[in-house]
């Protein structure tokens, strides 16, 4: 499937077309976790599109998958979203070679762009080597690239965890079109990158509280990938409305929307008490999958390595959703098995 741009056109294409929110989709499995659950994955893709997301990130790094399963997961997401939403992948595998293989597969199966980060195991000797490694991965694909600097935390090079001196050089790579910052990143790092390269690529902070600065002041036009579906429904797209209100300079509306959802963060934040992606590099999809299931997603447990979501953490999520006016879905067995598996008659095996 042909890309909607050439490498030389990628930056302009992104500026003209990539406007809105991006959310991740996580793998779903059969009840015994032995295989991917294609129906469950397709359910989530459709629900995310119904939530008003412009792009879906296939987060294959979030749990235990073989390399071939990762490729199948990406193929399913690309097929289901085709013509209705852009699709991206997390190229964050064990080796550069695995990253490149996923990039090639994603492009071949209809993907739109890719978030590329260095493997956690990578240990660069210098800033120059770090740049060469990243450019090597970018040069291997025709896909537009979403630069993700929050992976290695190289504080020996810079207090932010990323050598700021090479950010402009990475932004100049022809198919690098955007970069993102996630929760826990210093705000000054986000703002410095807007200052350094915001006229060349799309810089974005995924955290809604920071949009009150990054959108009016710096013109942020997209955000993600973030689990924005955990605080809204297709019928009440609160994160989308907040983002759009700020883009349209309707500040009074934006403040009202933000306060409307504030209680969720205060309560559901308890469910993340022992989660530190910044310190571990490990994604904990259970939190997002549970909250998404509460509001209409497929749910379902994922393979190890994955942290357990404890009962009190689930209750905190449910209390947070109720506090902002949503009624969480019932039936924990359905969540554990996955909505589509449960609908087909699957039930937990009891001993």
Residue range 95-108: mean pLDDT, rounded: 97
The range of the structural domain enclosing residue 157 comes to: 7-341
pLDDT tens digits, one per residue of 10-31: 999 999 999 999 999 999 999 9
Q: Give the residue, 225 or 267, on which the prediction is more confident.
A: 225
Does a structural domain hold residue 349?
A: no
* φ/ψ bin of 87: left (φ > 0), alpha (ψ from -120 to 50), beta (otherwise): beta
Does a structural domain hold residue 267?
A: yes
Q: Is the pLDDT of residue 280 over 70?
A: no
Cα 76 to Cα 37, 71, 81, 342, distances in angstroms: 10, 9, 9, 20
Residue range 214-222: mean pLDDT, rounded: 98
Torsion angle in degrees (nearest 10) through CA of 269, 93, 171, 82:
-80
What kind and span of H or E run contains 70? Answer: helix 67-81
Q: Give the residue, 2 or 145, on which the prediction is more confident.
A: 145
Does a structural domain hold residue 302?
A: yes
Which letter does DSSP use for residue 233 in this model?
B
Rounded distance between C-alpha atoms, residue 320 and residue 326, angstroms:
9
**Predicted local confidence at residue 279, as pLDDT:** 60
Looking at the DSSP bridge assignments, the partners of residue 7 are none
Q: Is the pLDDT of residue 278 over 90?
A: no
Query: Chain-wide mean pLDDT for the chain?
Result: 94
Does a structural domain hold residue 22?
A: yes
pLDDT tens digits, one per residue of 305-347: 888 899 999 999 999 999 999 999 999 999 999 999 999 999 9
Rounded distance between C-alpha atoms, residue 265 and residue 268, angstroms:
5
Structure tokens at 134: 């990243």
Q: Is the pLDDT of residue 165 over 60?
A: yes
Rounded distance between C-alpha atoms, residue 99 and residue 72, angstroms:
15
Rounded distance between C-alpha atoms, residue 45 and residue 26, angstroms:
10
**Predicted local confidence at residue 236, as pLDDT:** 98
Rounded distance between C-alpha atoms, residue 46 and residue 150, angstroms:
29
Q: Is the pLDDT of residue 268 over 80?
A: no
Does a structural domain hold residue 1?
A: no
Rounded distance between C-alpha atoms, residue 113 and residue 175, angstroms:
10
Does a structural domain hold residue 227?
A: yes
Phi and psi for 196 in degrees, rounded to 5?
-80, -45
Question: Smallest Cα–Cα separation from 178: which of 14, 43, 61?
Answer: 14
Does a structural domain hold residue 106?
A: yes
**Predicted local confidence at residue 151, as pLDDT:** 75
CATH value at residue 307: 3.20.20.70
**Predicted local confidence at residue 351, as pLDDT:** 95
The count of domains in the chain is: 1
**Predicted local confidence at residue 132, as pLDDT:** 97
Does a structural domain hold residue 251?
A: yes
Q: pTM for the full model?
A: 0.96
Q: Give the residue, 50 or 285, on which the prediction is more confident.
A: 50
């Amino acid at each position: 499937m042909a890309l909607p741009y050439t490498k030389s056109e990628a930056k302009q294409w992104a500026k003209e077309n990539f406007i809105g929110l991006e959310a991740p989709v996580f793998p779903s499995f059969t009840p015994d976790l032995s295989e991917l659950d294609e129906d469950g994955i397709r359910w989530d893709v459709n629900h995310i599109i119904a939530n008003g997301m412009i792009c879906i990130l296939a987060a294959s790094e979030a749990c235990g998958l073989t390399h071939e399963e990762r490729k199948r997961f990406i193929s399913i997401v690309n097929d289901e979203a085709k013509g209705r939403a852009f699709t991206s992948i997390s190229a964050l595998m064990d080796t550069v070679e695995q990253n490149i293989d996923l990039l090639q597969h994603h492009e071949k199966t209809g993907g739109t762009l890719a978030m590329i980060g260095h493997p956690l195991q990578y240990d660069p000797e210098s800033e120059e080597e770090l740049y060469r490694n990243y450019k090597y991965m970018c040069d291997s694909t025709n896909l537009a690239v979403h630069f993700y600097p929050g992976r290695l935390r190289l504080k020996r090079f810079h207090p932010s965890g990323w050598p700021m001196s090479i950010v402009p050089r990475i932004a100049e790579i022809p198919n690098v079109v955007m970069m993102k910052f996630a929760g826990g990143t210093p705000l000054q790092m986000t703002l410095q990158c807007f200052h350094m390269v915001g006229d060349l690529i799309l810089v974005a902070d995924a955290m809604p509280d920071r949009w009150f600065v990054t959108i009016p002041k710096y013109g942020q036009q997209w955000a993600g990938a973030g689990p924005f579906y955990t605080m809204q429904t297709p019928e009440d797209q609160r994160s989308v409305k907040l983002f759009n209100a700020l883009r349209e300079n309707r500040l009074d509306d934006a403040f009202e929307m933000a306060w409307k959802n504030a209680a969720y963060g205060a309560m559901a934040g308890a469910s993340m008490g022992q989660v530190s992606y910044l310190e571990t590099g490990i994604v904990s999809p259970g939190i997002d999958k549970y909250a998404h299931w509460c509001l209409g997603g497929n749910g379902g447990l994922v393979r190890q390595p994955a942290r357990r979501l404890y009962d009190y953490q689930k209750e905190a999520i449910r209390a947070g959703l109720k506090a902002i006016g949503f009624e969480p879905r019932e039936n924990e067995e359905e969540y554990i098995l996955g909505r589509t598996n449960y609908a087909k008659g699957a039930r937990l095996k009891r001993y």
